[in-house]
Amino acid sequence: MSLVATKLVEAQLRAKEYWGSFEHRFSTYGAFKAFLDNAMGLLPKDTLEAIKNKSNGRSITIPTLQKQTLAVITERACAIVGVEPNSVKPTFSKITRGFQIKVYPKVSDNNNFSEVDQFANGLNNGIRTMAESLDNYSAAQLEAGKSTDLKAVTLDGLEIVSNAYQVSPEKRERLYFYLPAILEKNDMNSGRINNIATTESMELMLQYESKASSNDQNLAAVLRGDLPSATGFRHYRSNRMTNGESIAETHYLVPFGAIGVFSWNDSDARNRRKGPNGQQSYLLTDPILGVSWDVVEEPICDNLTETYGEGFERTFGTKYQFAADFAFLQAYSSDNSRANLKVEVLQTV
């Protein structure tokens, strides 16, 4: 009852085609995409492979050397007092996300939609559901992982409130001039920065983008980080990220490679093992998110007369379970400073 390989490929392509239709439209999943895009900069490839080849357990540890403040000497001496490095093994947990669908070939025998259409529609619905779930989780991780040791920045209209920098409405248009100073005060001034923001941030971005090199002031260069003293930003927006009360827009500023999401697949699926009752397992990479899912398919026989009427008393089909484990990581810090600064712009009262 399984979809043969050629049909499976066709179904994947069909699922991707649904992307353009209004009914099956996808949202903007900027929070999750930021975690995906930064993953390879957070952990070296050999470390990642070693972790992925571990057991199917729920938690992982990553050995890490801690920073230390050493004693300052003011003169040379024969007696040397050295300090050995400290190391820790932070533990990170994985979450499981997945979805399940069913396909009945008999339903397609006298129907406008083929067996491949059934599978493609189910796959598309599942991927969209997973994207929303993982984007929501990503947004929550950004909030939970924000720095609680923010350095004071003495710029007009800028305050620290509830572990976030808040920009007054009057200084909103100065935001991308303020951000490089905020970052540098927190020693986050090397390399490019992810600006992961609520959708409302688009309006101000468009203002900056509309004033490029042909204008009196090149605001687009400030937004892109092209100027020598500017910060190079990569911008992400998400409809799952929300603004607090009286907040016009919210930003999380994260250095490249300081966050990442890593996925695992069950070893039964990696080895294409078979189970009882005709179960088969294998891996499938979805055509939209690019996530590798472990799939278990199982033949079924159901009575569908309540839905389709006479002739469907014994209907063969296949049910599919898609699942993957995810670990959302942030660069390690031994104190309350984090590689994640929250910035809010207040609404005009």
Of 220-234, 247-261, 320-334, the one with minimum mean pLDDT is: 220-234
Mean of the per-residue pLDDT values for the chain? 87
Which domains are assigned to the chain?
5-53+89-144+261-330 (no CATH), 158-259+337-346 (3.30.2320)
Q: What is the pLDDT of residue 208?
A: 81
What average pLDDT does this structure show over 154-163? 97
pLDDT at 326 over 90: yes
CA gap 7, 59 in Å, rounded:
37
113 pLDDT band, cuts 50/70/90, is: confident
- Which CB contacts under 8 angstroms, 24+ apart, belong to 104-109? 104/302, 104/304, 104/315, 104/316, 104/317, 105/1, 105/316, 105/317, 106/312, 106/315, 106/316, 106/317, 107/304, 107/308, 107/312, 107/315
Each residue of 72-91: pLDDT tens digit? 999 999 999 888 999 888 87
2 pLDDT band, cuts 50/70/90, is: very low
Query: Is this structure's pTM higher than 0.85?
Result: yes
pLDDT at 256 over 90: yes
184 pLDDT band, cuts 50/70/90, is: very high
pLDDT at 296 over 90: yes
Q: What is the pLDDT of residue 4?
A: 42
Q: What is the pLDDT of residue 18?
A: 56
